[in-house]
Structure formats: structure tokens, C-alpha cells
Structure 1
Amino acid sequence: ACVEDNDIERAIKHMMAFIEQEANEKAEEIDAKAEEEFNIEKGRLVQTQRLKIMEYYEKKEKQIEQQKKIQMSNLMNQARLKVLKARDDMISEMLNEARQRLANVAKDPSRYPALLDGLILQGFYQLLESKVTVRCRKQDVQMVQASIMRNIAIYKAAVKTNLEARIDQDNFLSPDISGGIEIYNGDGKIKVSNTLESRLDLMAQQMMPEIRVALFGANPNRKFLD
């Protein structure tokens, strides 16, 4: 009976050892499986987050690049406006200097009378009226009167009509005017301004493209020349 008990006890221990070993192997298998699934899930999450981070920074990079382009465009426009303003300022200074020199034209007895002749006759032709009033500087009255007399004859011969022209002795040109004349029709509603200043402004307006090319060179963006 003692021998049988020992055999039973050994059999039980052996069975318990087998069960324990099997349990340990199963636990190790479960741990290994759990670790594998954890690593897979961790890798998936890391990859997902990495993609999100990459996408986030890619968007940020594009935004920064766009902002850089906008800023660069703004800076270029500001620089272009500064260049254009500097050019306009230079042209304005040049025209102001030319205006200051106009006074010398009226002081030249070899040039001014002939210039007045051209300005007065042109005014006659522009108005084509039978009666006109000429306004001039006070110091030019005698010179303008002589020019009127000369040019009435030229006008009559060209147009074949009579012309009465008088100098406005009540209203003279402003002392700021360097020379030249203004001519009005009979009722004073139509005016031809042929002062030296107005002629300079007209000439500057007509020659502005040539002036810009002479000062700053040809515009590379301009495809057609009028």
C-alpha cells in the first residue's frame, strides 16, 4: 500500500510539473504574442503620427513659401514704386529747371519777338474768329502790339477774312508768367493759352516718352512703339 501511494504521489507531481510547464509555455506564448501585437500597434501609431507630422510640416513649409513669395512680391512692388517715384521726381526737377530758364528767353531781344510772332499767329489760326482779345505781360504790350499788326496781315492773306485783335489793357498776365500770350474769342469763352509755361508743359507732355528713354533707357517690357 505504501508503494502504491508513492507511485500515485510521483504521478501527481509529474502531472503537476507537466501542467506547470505547459502553463509557463502558454504564458510565454501569450507574452510573445502580446509583445508582437504591441510592437505592431506601436509601429502603426508611430507611422501614423509620423505621417501626420510630415503632413503638418509640409503644409507649414508651403505656407511659409507662399508667405515668402507674397513678401518678395510686395518688396519688389515697393522697390518698383520707389524707382518710379525717383524717376518722376527727376523729371519734375528737370522741368522745374526748364521753367526757371524760361525767363531768359523773354530777355533775349534776338529770339523773343520772333517767338511772340509764332505764338500769336498760331492763336489766330486756332480760334479762327473775326474778333479776338490778346492778354500779355504788362512789359510786353508794345512788343505784342507790333507782333499783332504784323500777323494780322499774314492771317488775312492765308484765311481770306478780316480780323480785329486788341490787347486787354485791364487784365495782364500774372508776374509769375515768363512770357508769351493768351488769346480769347469775342465773348471770352474760348481761350488759347500760348504762354511760355503752357508751351513748355505741352512740349513736355508730347516728348515725355522720348525724355524717359533719354534719361532711363528703353523700357524692356514695352513691345510696341507708337
Structure 2
Amino acid sequence: MAHALSDDQVAGELKKMVAFIKQEALEKAREIEIKADEEFAIEKSRLVRAETAAIDTQYERKYKQASLSQQIAQSTVKNKTRIKVLSARQALLDGIFEDTRGQLKSICEDHGRYEEVLTNMVLEGLFLMNEPSVELRCRSCDNDIVGRAVEKAKEIYKQMAGEDIAVNVDHDWPLEECHGGVWITGSNGKISIDNTLEQRLKLLETEALPSIRTTIFGPNPNRRFYD
């Protein structure tokens, strides 16, 4: 036959049950807290990685933009500088040829030198034409000196080509607005050679320009092939 518990025993059992429940609750709360801390740490790490990746992506994009902007700015400055250099070089060349053009008159004033130049010009025209007779035009003021140059050129031509050539100086159609030289036309009147000093200077500007550039400015570092 079971004995009934006294009030003190009941109270003691209740205290044990309360203590057990409280301990279980504390342990459960601790587990929940630990799990929450772990989940918080995981979420925090994920957010940090995501934000770091976003910042890295944004930095890389801005860096690329800044780098591209810098390259564009450098290219713009380089192109502007190159254009200025080319313009300055062209201005220098133009000035050289303009000064040379202004000195053409001095060639004619030195009669001995001018007669030699005319002789060579006429002789060149005779060989280029390669005809038995040619027409020649010159300035009215050059009639006498051209006449002497023609005779010398004819003699040299005969010695070199082994045949005579007739040269008719057209005094009725003189050259106008030039600094000297001659204009030679073949016997058929269809082919002419402009051998004036101005024309020779124009040819020099185009044909000799590369070598003049090299002489003044040095070899072009960007040029890979040379004739």
C-alpha cells in the first residue's frame, strides 16, 4: 500500500522538475543562441563577400574607365602635338622653297652661271625630244644669252648624238611672267617641255622632297620601306 507524499516531499519534487525544465530551457536557449551566432556569422561573411565583390567590380569598372580616359587624353595630346610638329615642319619647308623661289632672279643676274644653266636646260630638252628640229621660247631679255646657250648645246648634242639638230628660237612668242629658262616644243607641235626655272623648282619640291625632309629632320622612324 503506497504512502502519500508529504507537503515537503511534493515541494521538493516540484523544485527538481522546475530546475530540470529551467536547465533544459537554458540549454535550448544556448543552442539557439549558438546557431543564431553561426547563421549570423555565415550571413555576415556572405554579405561581406558580396559587398567586396561589388566594390571590386565597381573599382575595376572605374579603373578601366579612368584608364581609357587617360589613353584618350594622351592620344589627343599626342595627335595635337604631332599635328603641330608637322605644321611647323611644313611651314619650314614652304619657307625654304619660297626663299629659293626668291633667289631665282639672282641666277639670271650672274650671266656666266645663267648661260651654263641655260645650256644644260636646252641640251636636256634636245635629248628628251630626240627630233631633227625643235622650237624654243624664252624671255625677250634672254634672247642673246639663250642664243649662245643654244649654239653650245647644239655642239655638245652633235658630239654626243652624232647628228645635227635645228633649233629655232621663236622671238615672236616670248615667255612671260617667269624668272628664266626655256620652253622647248617638238617639230610636230604636240609635245612640249617646260624647262623654266619655276618648273624645275616645282619638280624639285615634289621629287626631292623626301630627301630634303630626311636631310633636315632626319630619317622617319615610322617608315619601314625605302626605295
TM above 0.5, yes or no, is yes
> CA offsets, 1:186-209, max 9 Å, x none?
233322221112223334545445
Paired with 2:190 and 2:68, the residues of 1 have a C-alpha distance of 59
Greater displacement, 74-83 / 210-219? 210-219
Counterpart among 174, 183, 186 of residue 176 in structure 2: 174
Q: How does 1:35-184 map to 2 (within 5 A)?
A: 35-175=37-177, 177-184=178-185
Cα distance in 2, alignment partners of residues 17 and 147 from structure 1: 139
Aligned to 2:186: 185
- Post-superposition shift, 1:42? 1.0
User: Could you say what secondary structure the match of 2:6 adopts?
Assistant: helix
Q: TM-score, normalised by structure 2?
A: 0.82
Secondary structure of the corresponding residue to residue 134 of structure 1: strand
After TM superposition, give the deviation of residue 41 of structure 1 in Å.
1.4
Q: Any idea what the Cα deviations from partners look like across 1:92-118, whole Å, max 9, x if unmatched?
A: 101100100101111222322222112
Unmatched tracts of structure 2, length 5 or more: none
Which amino acid in 2 is paired with 1:51? A
Identical residues among aligned pairs (%): 38
Q: Name the CA distance, whole Å, in 2 between partners of 1:224 and 1:21.
A: 94
What letter is aligned with 1:188?
G
How many Å apart are 1:142 and its aligned residue? 3.4
Specify the SS of the correspondent of 2:174: coil
SS at match of 1:110: helix
Question: Where does the alignment leave 5 or more consecutive residues of structure 1 unmatched?
Answer: none
Please say which of residues 214-223 and 46-55 is displaced more in the overlay: 214-223
Cα displacement string for residues 9-43 of structure 1 (whole angstroms, at most 9, x for unaligned residues) = 44234313421332133123202311221122111
Distance (whole Å) between structure 2 residues aligned to residue 155 and residue 3 of structure 1: 157
Give the TM-score normalised by the residue count of structure 1.
Answer: 0.82
Residue identity opposite 2:165 in structure 1: L
Measured on the aligned residues, the alpha-carbon RMSD in Å equals 2.9
